[in-house]
Amino acid sequence: MSRTTKLAFKFLRELNSSNVQDTFESLGTLLEYLESKNDPEPVEVQMVDTAYQALEKIKTLEGLIKRHIGESNSITKGNKLQNLYDQAPTSIGSSILD
């Protein structure tokens, strides 16, 4: 497993930790409150907009990291299997079949 994959996996694990989930719940509560205000201040509107953009970026990043980890795992497995085939002498297969 490459260092990038290890770090990405660690980030995903931490992103799904209870501490981070509590943070997202608090953000959700704040967003609900700000969205329900009748006359929000301009900075509050910007906070809501920026928060949703940040959440979308985090979801996109999470998807990309999962894809990277999945591709890294399949490439590694494929390379190991291919290396076994490449290193095996061809005469062994022929002698077994004879």
pTM here? 0.68
Percent of the chain with pLDDT over 70: 73
Model confidence pLDDT, tens digit, residues 15-25: 889 999 999 99
User: Would you place residue 97 in the very low, low, confident or very high pLDDT band (cuts 50, 70, 90)?
Assistant: very low
Question: Residue 5: CB partners within 8 Å, gap ≥ 6?
Answer: 68, 69, 72, 73
**Tokens, residue 26:** 């608090």
